[in-house]
Amino acid sequence: MKIVLSRIDNRLLHGITATQWAPKTKAQRVMIIDDVVANNEMMKSTMKLARPAGMAISIIPLETALDNFKANKYDGQSIFIIVKRVETLKRLIDEANVPIKEINIGATAQIENEDEVLRVNRFTTIDEEEKKIYLELMDKGVDIYAKYLVADPKQDLKDLLK
């Protein structure tokens, strides 16, 4: 199993992730890990409609993802993971040893508590708890950057958090 990219995006699978990021990854499977969407048939059906051509799709809750990774269910596959929160990726790494080497932060802008977040760009904000997790993951060697569109310049989070 190879994780070709992990992306944090509030909207999960949508136009930009389906038409730009997914093709760029050349993954065999796009995996959406989100408890709310996985347990809502209407939302799940909508996400399935956005499935990139030629890719398998999994829309699963975090606990199922942890169990599947521990059971080596995805051996031999290349996977593009999409989540809403960095905490999800941290749990995948810490609890299931998922080999995540790269995290792309897309749209995470938080409207409420604007004074309590670091604004990375117009699409991305990071709160104090997320900052701690990002720093911890960077210490483990994970490359983390903000980049909304494939064509946008890469904003290395290590430089932004100093």
Domain of 135, CATH number, reads 3.40.35.10
Q: Give the integer Cα–Cα distance in Å for 30 and 60.
A: 11
- How far apart CA 86 and CA 110 sit, in angstroms, is 14
Break the chain down into helix, strand, coil percent, rounded to 5: 40, 25, 35
How many distinct structural domains can be found in the chain?
Answer: 1
Find, among 160, 42, 54, 140, the residue nearest to 99 by Cα: 140
pLDDT in tens, 22-73: 999 999 999 999 999 999 999 999 999 999 889 999 999 999 999 999 999 9
pTM here is 0.93
Domain limits for position 59:
2-160
Angular region, 31: left φ>0, alpha ψ -120 to 50, beta rest: beta
